[in-house]
Structure 1
């Protein structure tokens, strides 16, 4: 299906009003992008920042009346309609386009993450075959890689695991392939739970090894290892929950945290855990701790 993009040069003050106007004018979706090379790695806790110069793009059916859209926007935004331009969006097979750029990733001495549509480069290694679908977690992001690298370097034989915010199931499945006994996988997104189940089956894991739950349905069973690769804000809020899910003497692994947020996250868990030194990759950190 062909599409048209309406690209508007806004600011952090005007971006939300432009978004509302685009949606009210029939846009199928709206995206915000940095318009001046001002990276935001991760918002501070409790904040939802935008760039000082924000490019707002609305996606429209190619058959839309562009003149009518602009009239509607002008009526909603008054005389302050920012600079804009229309641009066609090529109709492409975006899933296949993405697949061409996703290659196997080595995560330590034993573990490889391999797209399910490619042959593993080292068949004798531990190869996790992954089809992430709509769920987060491919191993390419620094936070996921940090967790996978850590799992590859610890003894997991016979351990029980909780993967909180499991996404594609990549961390739980990696732990099981590396020797863990079972995993409880928890996520707020039904799609993530489906992706986790599919990926577990793809890797030959028995159904009873990988159990999936929405948070409100998850059993309050403590495990030897708890992994949560989410974001700093939710991790702080979840500190009592994740502590209760960790056995005394068990290990906690947290990621999805930028370096400046590590101290605040560690403070939230300090009543229960003793932390090891943080490990960083591209300004993201992994935190590991032992429960007292």
Structure 2
């Protein structure tokens, strides 16, 4: 499976909104550059017509130029490794690659093999979820990571005391990377990672916490299923959607017996925490 690398030249003031728009079109990963940003999407999901429409929309507001090329899997991974910088969440969490030296001033040191920016903390929603995890009970519980990406949220859950982790993703690369990252962090928790969706989770499996950093449509369709796997008093962290979609997510959660605990936003992205 190859990826398309989209190179966008645009004014800094428009980088965030362009990134959000591309996220809606299926672009998975982003790197900010001096000229604008790089965006990555699976080749089979690339749509030139939609890209042209997006360009035309913003040409009325700013100067924007786009070029793209196809990347082999190996080269795509190398791009991330070259561009990856450590991510810090407050003064407690630091996400780094093995080629970065540890910083003992942080409470939680998380190691990853950087292959997907969307799941490494660079994306606003990953940062939001990790920030919320710091305030949630993890000790002694099982945690499910929906659409695990690099597995970074599950790794943090383990470092916060979770004793069992289950992660899954529809992307085979994500599954491979999650397994690799679990091993690098030498987790003591029991772990299971598979390629697939919530429908492959055993009906008898019940979790104390569920991490769901996906997108609006999947959340609206699957929140009822997450609730079935959540024990009474358990928590659900949702993110991957914009502030404008938050009301829809909260309404769906309420209809399925969840109580909102709190919410947070960061650069127009939202995160909401619920309790069963």
Aligned-residue offset at 1:176: 0.2
What residue in structure 1 maps to residue 171 of structure 2?
189
Please say if 1:242 is aligned against 2:204: no
Q: Relative to structure 2, which stretch is displaced further, 221-230 or 276-285?
A: 276-285
Unaligned runs of 5+ in 1: 1-27, 62-92
Closer, same or farther in 2 for the Cα pair 1:44/1:101, shift >3 Å? closer
What CA distance in whole angstroms lies between the structure 2 residues aligned with 1:99 and 1:238?
33
Please say if 1:290 is aligned against 2:275: yes
Counterpart secondary structure, 1:235: helix
Please say if 1:278 is aligned against 2:244: no
Q: Is the 8 A contact 2:80 2:117 kept in 1?
A: no
Please say if 1:218 is aligned against 2:201: yes
What is the Cα-based RMSD across aligned positions, in Å? Answer: 3.3
Aligned-residue offset at 1:29: 5.4
Closer, same or farther in 2 for the Cα pair 1:261/1:42, shift >3 Å? farther
Closer, same or farther in 2 for the Cα pair 1:169/1:59, shift >3 Å? closer
What residue in structure 2 maps to residue 262 of structure 1?
246
What residue in structure 1 maps to residue 56 of structure 2?
53
Unaligned runs of 5+ in 2: 27-49, 58-64
With normalisation by structure 2, the TM-score equals: 0.72
Counterpart secondary structure, 2:119: coil
Closer, same or farther in 2 for the Cα pair 1:133/1:204, shift >3 Å? same
What CA distance in whole angstroms lies between the structure 1 residues aligned with 2:24 and 2:116?
26
Counterpart secondary structure, 1:168: coil
Aligned-residue offset at 1:190: 1.6
With normalisation by structure 1, the TM-score equals: 0.69
Q: Is the 8 A contact 1:111 1:152 kept in 2?
A: no
Q: Is the 8 A contact 1:165 1:230 kept in 2?
A: yes
Counterpart secondary structure, 1:51: helix
What CA distance in whole angstroms lies between the structure 2 residues aligned with 1:222 and 1:261?
28
Closer, same or farther in 2 for the Cα pair 1:46/1:153, shift >3 Å? same
Aligned-residue offset at 1:239: 1.6
Aligned-residue offset at 1:43: 8.1
What CA distance in whole angstroms lies between the structure 2 residues aligned with 1:100 and 1:259?
32
Closer, same or farther in 2 for the Cα pair 1:124/1:229, shift >3 Å? closer
Superposed CA deviations along residues 158-177 of structure 1, whole A, max 9, x for unmatched, are 12100001000000011001
Aligned-residue offset at 1:60: 8.2
Aligned residues: 232
Counterpart secondary structure, 1:264: helix
Closer, same or farther in 2 for the Cα pair 1:227/1:56, shift >3 Å? same
Larger Rg belongs to: 1
1:75-114 superposed matches below 5 A: 95=77, 98-114=80-96
Counterpart secondary structure, 2:262: coil
Higher percent of residues as helix: 2
Aligned-residue offset at 1:140: 1.4
Closer, same or farther in 2 for the Cα pair 1:282/1:265, shift >3 Å? same
Aligned-residue offset at 1:134: 4.8
Aligned-residue offset at 1:96: 5.2
Q: Relative to structure 2, which stretch is displaced further, 231-240 or 42-51?
A: 42-51
Counterpart among 209, 213, 235 of residue 229 in structure 1: 213
